[in-house]
Amino acid sequence: MKTSYDVIVVGGGVIGSTIAWRIAQTSRKVLLLERGRLGQEASSAAAGMLGAELEMNEPGPFFQLCLESRELYPTFSDELFDLTGIEIELTPNGILRLARTTEEAAQLQETAAWQQLHGGSAMFLTSTQIAAMETSVCETFGGLFLAKDGNVNAALVTRAVGKAASLTADVIEGSPVYDIVFSPTEVTVRTATEQYHAEKVILANGAFANQFLPSMHMPPSLIPVKGQLLRIQPSGHVKLTRTISHGHFYFVPKRDGTIIVGATEEPELLSHINTVSGLSQLLLAVQDVLPGLRDAAFVDAWTGIRPLLPTREPFIGPVDANSQALVAIGHFRNGILLAPVTAEIIVSLIEGKALLAHHKAFIPQIPVSQVR
């Protein structure tokens, strides 16, 4: 018997699961195919920062997209709790981005100026103010306080959106997609044992998207970037009250009292091995940036593979004008933050609604330079 859907989503990470759930809410028949277990890759591994203002270097559509998704999080969290009973630990306690040289301080002051102009909450604080806020941090030359950024428990978000998808759409785990074939009337998605048909397919398989991009007339330009993280448990009464960031390193306090320390950036690596050099970098960063936590206990370590596109921004939308194929890939360091807005954009496209101007910047065939 022929199995037909309105939409098939390939990949059950935070992006694919959120999209499947949100499209199913529009009464469409949706199938989500995941090659292993839902959330088994980058999404469950993430540190969970909602760093809409954290790593932004310039104003533009991407900054707007990040702010917008952060704003969606309280409602997203409530809806997930109501549907699944899973509390994602949304903690809007701000992020401190440290300056450790006068040059870094000058750069962060410039960042604060443009972010405030474009709707951000960044405020430059002196070293004395920072020392008063966080007793475990090193000497600084001041830093940015990003009051509206925060964090969630990424593993719980991923579990919640996976459960939301399972409650509203057909979800098949352990089902790797091997082939996607387009005909004028439908899309056929093949697994080892089955073939499924739909009006549209949405590619959301993270760092593994290169497998299908050529069949969608797109270059296989996605770069997997391995990241290693570890977790520590502070001793005694020493603690961190908000996320601290310096360079590529960050320290994210979680509700259970532990702190996630991240992360390495290792391009072109699909391996899941924690290495001596990777973990050493992270442990040295703790001693260097948070000397007050040098006696914290090591708890555990893990890895994840970030999906990076050459633009360093995601592709969200159809691969050509009348396409049966849409992509939601390349969320790199911000996929947890961007899941709510990514799904909103995809739902608008499926429903044939007009996109907001800054959303058009992420449609693959429109060069970003044309919409900035």
Ligand X SMILES: Cc1cc2nc3c(=O)[nH]c(=O)nc-3n(C[C@H](O)[C@H](O)[C@H](O)COP(=O)(O)OP(=O)(O)OC[C@H]3O[C@@H](n4cnc5c(N)ncnc54)[C@H](O)[C@@H]3O)c2cc1C
Report the interface residues with ligand X, using CB under 6 A. Answer: 10-16, 33-36, 40-43, 45-49, 176-177, 204-208, 211, 227, 229, 262-263, 304-307, 331-337
Residue 169 CB, nearest distance to ligand X (Å)?
15
Residue 354 CB, nearest distance to ligand X (Å)?
25
Rounded Cα–Cα distance for residues 164 and 162 (Å): 5
Residue 126 CB, nearest distance to ligand X (Å)?
27
Crossing angle of the two packed helices 14-24 and 154-168, in degrees rounded to 10: 30
- Closest C-alpha to 231, from 295, 283, 156, 284: 283
- Closest C-alpha to 162, from 359, 299, 14: 14
Residue with smaller CB distance to ligand X, 36 or 367: 36
CA–CA distance from 211 to each of 182, 203, 318, 342 (Å)? 15, 10, 17, 21
Residue with tokens 């959120």: 18
- Is the Cβ–Cβ distance between 289 and 237 less than 8 Å? no
Residue 221's SS3 state is: coil
Residue with smaller CB distance to ligand X, 105 or 345: 345
Query: Would you put residue 107 in left (φ > 0), alpha (ψ -120 to 50) or beta?
Result: alpha
Residue 104 CB, nearest distance to ligand X (Å)?
21
Residue 94 CB, nearest distance to ligand X (Å)?
14
Residue with smaller CB distance to ligand X, 35 or 200: 35
Residue 339 CB, nearest distance to ligand X (Å)?
7
Residue with smaller CB distance to ligand X, 46 or 293: 46
- Is the Cβ–Cβ distance between 303 and 264 less than 8 Å? no
Q: 33-65 b/e with 16+ CB inside 10 Å = b?
A: bbbeebbbbbbbbbbbbbbbbbbbeeebbbbbb
Residue 307 CB, nearest distance to ligand X (Å)?
5
Residue with smaller CB distance to ligand X, 137 or 229: 229
Residue with smaller CB distance to ligand X, 131 or 223: 223
Residue with smaller CB distance to ligand X, 234 or 314: 314
Bridge partners of residue 267, in order along the sequence:
225
Residue 14 CB, nearest distance to ligand X (Å)?
5
What torsion, rounded to 10 degrees, do the Cα atoms 264, 300, 90, 248 define? -20
Residue 139 CB, nearest distance to ligand X (Å)?
26
Q: What are the DSSP calls for 95-151, one per residue?
A: EEEE--SHHHHHHHHHHHHHHHHTT--EEEE-HHHHHHH-TTS---S-EEEETT-EE
Residue with smaller CB distance to ligand X, 168 or 342: 342
Parallel, antiparallel, or unpaired for β 3-10 and 30-33?
A: parallel
Residue with smaller CB distance to ligand X, 295 or 300: 300
Residue with tokens 């499926």: 350
Our CA angle for 356, 360, 362, nearest 5°, is 130
